[in-house]
Amino acid sequence: MQELYFNIDAGYLEGIVRGYKSAFITASNYLNLAQSENLDDLKLQLATTDYGALLQNEPSPLATSTIAEKCTQNLVDQFQYLYGQSVQPLTQFLDYFTYGYMIDNVILLITGTLHERDTHELLERCHPLGVFETMPALCVATNVEELYNTVLVDTPLAPYFKDCLSAQDLDEMNIELIRNTLYKAYLQDYYQFCQRIGGVTAEIMGEILQFEADRRAINITINSFGTELSKDDRHRLFPQLGKLYPEGTLKLARADDLDQVKAVCDSYLEYRAFFDALPSSEAGVHEGLSDTTAGHTKSLEDKFFELEVKMNKQSFEQQFSYSVFYSFFRLKEQEIRNIVWIAECIAQQQKTKVNNYIAIF
C-alpha cells in the first residue's frame, strides 16, 4: 500500500536517489583500487568513479585524511541537495537521519570541554551532517548547568535530553551513559515516526531500526563486561524495540560473558551466525570471532556492517518509500569506509588486508 503521505515531490526525489544508485563503486572498481601501488594511483582509479572530480586538484602526496574528508563532503552535498528540495514529511524524515550525528557531535564536544580540549579542534572533528546553529556555544559554556539550560535545550535534541537527563548527569563519569540513553530515546522516536508514516516506509524502516536497536543492545552488553555498570543500568540503556526486545534484551541484561551473549543470540535466526566458532569468552566486539574469508577473520562489527548493507540494499527493491533515502546514505557511508580502508592499507603497506572491505553492489 502506498504511504498516506507520499507525494509527487517525494516521488521525484526518490527517482533522483534511485538514479544515484548507479554511481556506487562496482566490484571491478574495488579490484582496481585495491591494486593501487600508492595513494596517487588510488586517486587515478577514483577518477573513473563518482568521486573522480573531488580529488582532481589535490596535490601530491595525497593523505588518507584528505580522501576521507572529500568523500564525506560529497555525501553531505548530496544530502543537502535532497533536503533542500524536500517537503514534509520527508523533510522531518531526513531531520531524524541527522540526529544520530548530532548526538555524536554533542558527546564529542562535552567530552572535549570536560578535558579542556581546543574548541576549534573539536568543531573540526564534528561530522558535518550533525552540525546545528548553536553547536559552537557548547564549547564556551562555563559549567554543565549553563551547557544544559542555555544550549542543549535549544537544539533538536532537546526532547531527548529533557526526557532522559538532567544537568546533573553531564559529567565525565556518565558520558557513555548519556550517549546510549540519548540513542535509545532517538531510535524509539524515529521508529514511532516511521510507523506513523505507514506503508512500505513503516515496514522497511521498522526492520532497519529494529536491527540498529539490537546491534546497540549487543554492543552495550559486551562493552559493559568488566566495568562498573550494573546489570539494571545496562538494561535501562537498551532501546525498547528490536527482534531481541523484550525477552532477548532481558537475558542480555543478565549476561556475564560473551558465551552467554552467544546463547541468547542463538535463539534468533538473524544473529545466530554472528557468533559461530566463537574462540573464547574473552573476545571483544572488534576482535575476530568467526568466518575467515581469503585469510580475513571477520569481527562482530564486520558482520553487523554486512547485515546492515544487505538490509539497506533491500530498500531499492520497493517503491513509494522514504526508506530509500535513509538506505542510500547509509550505503554511501559504507562505501566511504571501504575507500578509506583501502587507502589506509596502501599508505601503511598492509596490502594483505586491502581486500577486507564490504562490497555493496
Q: What is the pLDDT along the chain (361 residues), one digit of tens a residue?
A: 444 455 656 776 777 776 666 678 999 999 999 999 999 999 999 988 888 788 888 888 889 999 999 999 999 999 999 999 999 999 999 999 999 999 999 888 878 777 777 777 888 889 999 998 877 777 666 555 666 676 677 788 888 877 666 656 656 557 788 889 999 999 999 999 999 999 999 999 999 999 999 999 999 999 999 988 899 999 999 999 999 999 999 999 999 999 999 999 999 998 988 887 545 444 444 443 334 444 456 789 999 999 999 999 999 888 888 999 999 999 999 999 999 999 999 999 998 999 999 989 7
Closest CA to 358 of 308, 291, 287, 283: 308
Distance CA 332, CA 49 (A): 13
Asked if 328 and 7 count as a contact pair (C-beta separation under 8 A), the reply is no
Q: How far apart are the first and last CA of the chain?
A: 28
pTM recorded for the entire structure: 0.89
What domains appear along the chain, each with residue ranges and CATH number? 1-85+322-361 (1.10.132.50)
| pLDDT at 92 (0 to 100) | 96
Beta strands in the chain, from DSSP E residues, in sequence order? 288-293, 296-299
Distance CA 99, CA 55 (A): 29
Neighbours of 85 (CB within 10 A): 14
Distance CA 118, CA 121 (A): 5
| pLDDT at 5 (0 to 100) | 53
